[in-house]
């Protein structure tokens, strides 16, 4: 198995799928000759040319609109929004057009569109460039939402997204681009809707995505020294969401904590907790706990930003809370 970075997994997936299918095209702001503002897509413009890899104007509405048009016309576009925060100016196109076309046409129109976007804090980009916005898209029926936490899942999920006939919002955590991990050689596909049990445990179930998976793992390792066994689950996709794996874990541990780098109101953790209380409340030994941002807005100041984002100490405190008799 090769060891590559999170950003190298992105370009490998794009390169493999563009080589496999000539209808796969890629465009966005500075993704061509510059190789992306986060240097995630170098080499694609040189290999596939301007017909298939194009720089666009600084207009998210134009990027998404062109992507939808290309998708319904028979192409398989991958578009990049530099920051997911700016998807707000395109929400009508994403949630009222791309997400609904297949249903409203009785299946006659397919929208095989992959919307890549960077999200997440920790890099000092302040409130308008640091949000985790997966909940925006979870609320729109017709969209799939992927949130990979490591290079292998970036590769496998992005390839699945590109091959899907439905629109997929593919969210990459910008703080993780330099992180390294093992990735299988050859063809590697990760199906949507299949969670990954990252760590087996018996006392507490911790569900986390993206950067928070590593935070949960760090906490679990420390808690193991204290005799507390944590099971860590990475859903990998939030739509579809693998509740079966989470419910099975909660029935075993009797306790649930969700860890998300987003505001408390309406987060994906609320969806997980609601499902657990509906389907497995009689198995719970204590109330479920949701760890989220400590502030609705993400500060520019580095010390304050680090404070509002959940860390391992926050997870450890939450676990001890649910372990209380």
- 85 Cβ neighbours under 8 A, 6+ residues apart: 119, 128, 129, 130, 131, 133
Judging by DSSP bridges, how do beta strands 24-28 and 76-81 pair with one another?
Answer: parallel
Two structure tokens written together for 55: 């720089």
Instruction: Given the residues 60, 80, 271, 305, select the one marked as catalytic.
Output: 60
Phi, psi dihedrals of residue 318, rounded to the nearest 5°:
-65, -40
CB 291 within 8 Å of CB 257:
yes
Q: Among residues 169, 165, 121, which one has the least CA distance to residue 147?
A: 169
Classify residue 2 by its DSSP letter.
E
Peptide bond into 264 cis (omega under 30): no
Phi, psi dihedrals of residue 266, rounded to the nearest 5°:
70, 20
Two structure tokens written together for 54: 């194009």
Identify the bridge partners of residue 230 per DSSP, sorted by sequence position. 204
Identify the bridge partners of residue 55 per DSSP, sorted by sequence position. 28
* CA 201 – CA 220 distance, rounded (Å): 9
* CA 131 – CA 145 distance, rounded (Å): 16
Two structure tokens written together for 207: 């569900």
Identify the bridge partners of residue 181 per DSSP, sorted by sequence position. 4
Q: Is 264 a catalytic residue?
A: no
Q: Helix axis angle, 243-253 relative to 268-280, nearest 10°?
A: 60
Q: Is 182 a catalytic residue?
A: no
**Residue 233 host element (H or E):** strand 230-234
Q: Among residues 242, 252, 150, 156, which one has the least CA distance to residue 202?
A: 252
* CA 288 – CA 257 distance, rounded (Å): 6
For the chain, the first-to-last Cα distance in angstroms comes to: 45
Instruction: Given the residues 129, 172, 231, 260, select the one marked as catalytic.
Output: 129
The residues carrying an active-site annotation are 60, 129
């Amino acid at each position: 198995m090769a060891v590559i970075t999170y950003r190298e997994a992105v370009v490998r997936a794009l390169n493999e799928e563009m080589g496999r299918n000539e209808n796969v095209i890629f465009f966005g702001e500075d993704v061509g000759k510059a190789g992306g503002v986060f240097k995630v897509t170098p080499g694609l413009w040189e290999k596939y040319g301007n017909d298939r890899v194009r720089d666009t104007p600084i207009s998210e509405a134009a990027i998404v609109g062109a992507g939808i048009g290309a998708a319904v016309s028979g192409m398989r576009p991958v578009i990049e929004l530099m920051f997911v925060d700016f998807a707000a100016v395109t929400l009508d196109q994403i949630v009222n057009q791309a997400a609904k076309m297949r249903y409203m046409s009785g299946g006659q129109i397919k929208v095989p569109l992959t919307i890549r976007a960077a999200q997440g804090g920790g890099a000092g980009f302040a409130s308008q460039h640091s949000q985790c916005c997966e909940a925006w898209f979870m609320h729109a029926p017709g969209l799939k939402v992927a949130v990979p936490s490591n290079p292998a899942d970036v590769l496998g999920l992005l390839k699945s997204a590109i091959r899907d006939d439905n629109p997929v919002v593919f969210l990459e955590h910008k703080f993780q681009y330099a992180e390294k991990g093992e990735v299988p050689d050859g063809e590697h596909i990760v199906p949507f809707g299949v969670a990954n049990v990252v760590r087996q445990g018996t006392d507490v179930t911790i569900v986390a995505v993206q950067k928070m998976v590593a935070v949960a793992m760090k906490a679990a390792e420390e808690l193991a020294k204290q005799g507390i066994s944590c099971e860590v689950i990475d859903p990998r996709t939030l739509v579809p969401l693998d509740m079966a794996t989470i419910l099975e874990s909660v029935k075993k541990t009797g306790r649930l904590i969700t860890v998300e780098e987003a505001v408390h109101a309406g987060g994906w953790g609320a969806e997980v907790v609601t499902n657990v209380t509906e389907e497995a409340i009689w198995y719970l030994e204590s109330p479920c706990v949701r760890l989220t941002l400590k502030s609705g807005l993400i500060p520019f100041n580095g010390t304050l930003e680090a404070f509002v984002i959940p860390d391992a100490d926050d997870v450890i405190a939450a676990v001890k809370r649910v372990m209380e008799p």
